[in-house]
Amino acid sequence: MGGLLAAPTASNLAIAQDAVWPARPVRLLVGWPPGGSVDILARILQPRLQAVFGQPVVIENRPGATGSVGAAEVARSAADGYTWLLAVDSHTIIPSIMTLPYDTRRDFTPVTLIGRGPLVVTAHPSTLWRSFHDLVAMARERPPGSIHYATAGIGTLMHMAMVQLSNLAGVQLTHVPYRGGAPALQDALAGQVPLFVTNAPVGGPHVRNAALKGLGVTTRASWRDLPGVPSFHEQGFTGFEAPTWWAVFAPAGVSETIRRRMETTLAGILAEPEVRTRVEAQGMDVLATSGESFATFYENEIERWGRVVRDNGIRADS
């Protein structure tokens, strides 16, 4: 006796869709302008992701509000594996500073922590400071806030790191936020701002060619690619450490099958010698952690920088 074929259930359809993922182009959202560290990293990963997936991987730059414009686009996207966010540390900081159209904990799934590296505090060659201690000495002699520093935006780790360093040094500096590292770099190189706090991918080449002076890095020890630039810990700010990091997120609700496939794909790509060398040359140590490990790190970062924001009364106009 013949029987009717059972209609596929939603669960079976989801399993079938997961099995053929990706079956169409994939979007990689970058919440920063072209030329910054997140964009540089995205363009290193893109061709290898395309080759592995056999589908186009489209980088979309959605700059604005310290990366939150791009993050908002991912948060409201379907959790089907076709939209991903490449983000930096500020993703865990700005929820304490700004009112956002998404919940940082609820609306994203951590996929992998790609890597970590130093921030570098730089000065224009025209300044008189040969070291960070020279800067501190001058800041103590001048009216509070008379020395300005540029960063890629309010709520970036660059901003938080300088707030902490200023507190430790007992000085007050004035923050000049930009809409990303690339435009801030242009003004720093032109001498429009005396200080520029950035990450190694953006600032490192200009420190090495003496277009900017390196006053210190925020890793515990000095950094391999910035010889002669001491860490702040080594300069007497004992225990100070604020490494920057880059990571991939998916919209909340993405299937575990697809999330893990992206995690393992990225780990494989980052293990390729040529890719690893290019990423490390941008100023980071490759980590490619598991999603579970990254989720714990992510929660700790939200708590850590939330305390700094609250303790210092930092606001969106800081």
What is the value of pTM for the model shown? Answer: 0.85
Q: Among 217, 236, 260, identify where a domain stops.
A: 217
What is the rounded CA–CA span in Å between residue 103 and residue 303?
Answer: 14
Residues of the chain with pLDDT under 70: 1-16, 318
- Same domain for 43 and 190, yes or no, is no
Task: Report yes or no on 154 lying in a domain.
Answer: yes
Task: Report yes or no on 16 lying in a domain.
Answer: no
> What is the CATH classification number for the domain harbouring 173?
3.40.190.10
- Same domain for 81 and 132, yes or no, is no
What is the pLDDT at residue 16?
A: 63
What is the pLDDT at residue 7?
A: 54
> What is the CATH classification number for the domain harbouring 35?
3.40.190.150
- Same domain for 198 and 211, yes or no, is yes
Question: Structurally, how many domains does the chain consist of?
Answer: 2
What is the pLDDT at residue 180?
A: 81
- Same domain for 102 and 68, yes or no, is yes
**Which residue segment(s) compose the domain that 68 sits in?**
23-117+244-312
